[in-house]
Structure 1
Amino acid sequence: MRTTGDRIRQAVSFEALGLLISVPLAAVVFGYSLEKTGVLGLIGATLATTWNYIFNLGFDRTLKRLTGSTRKSLKLRFLHAFSFELGLLVAFLPIIAWWMGIGLVDALLVDISFALFYLVYAFIFTWCYDTIFPDTDATASPVQ
């Protein structure tokens, strides 16, 4: 299992890099100001960082209990990324609508766009992170 310090490093680096990429991209794609999109990004990053820590801790504990290891197969990586983003999507939707002053349908489009971006980003980031900073518990064969 990863240490608390390692989990914090992972969550903070994930969100910082994600913000640097997603905020300017969202401002251009949706036509919102960089400032308004930037604040939304910071709100989302704070929410996501908290969710990241809680979700990854629970996912790893469950995986270790069920398989004896935290090693993730390709299928588990997809499940991990998808379930993380689904939980965040539900929590972030009302915040987007409120902050941007838009209806829930428009907020859902913004939210889904962020989720799709972060779904791909989370998959790539966590794979790279696990390669650069391997989890010592991830030595057993992955569950298929």
Structure 2
Amino acid sequence: MNACRLALALGLAGTALVAAADECLPKVEQGWVRSPPVAMPMMAGFARIENPCAAPVAVVSASSLSFAEVSIHETREIDGVNRMREVERLEVAAGGLVELKPGGLHLMLYRPQTALKEGDKLSIALKLADGREIAGEFEVRKPKP
């Protein structure tokens, strides 16, 4: 009987440890979307992705009900010309930070589903390689000088 109780206790303890590890999630903070010109079919989103967890994570896709499509891109200067490319996997180190900012990594937001204006707030979800999702609030605004 005591062996059964011990086995049950160990099983529950193991489940609790797995659940605790799953609870640590990166955070999307300071999200903003560049205020668009009238009738612009695409916009750009920026934020800080902080990973306070003990293990690295990877962002593999993004989505939002506010846009038909969302993807992760990076702008790089090649031979004096800024070029943009899609990023399929964005790694965030354990205890690390990745900044999505103008002129670097950013979210491309295609075909807004409604007219967006300065001050509007919307949610963008980032899907992690392990299947979990994290969401952040993004405010539509002009870039800070």
The alignment's TM-score, normalised by the length of structure 1, stands at 0.33
The alignment's TM-score, normalised by the length of structure 2, stands at 0.33
Name the structure with the higher strand share.
2
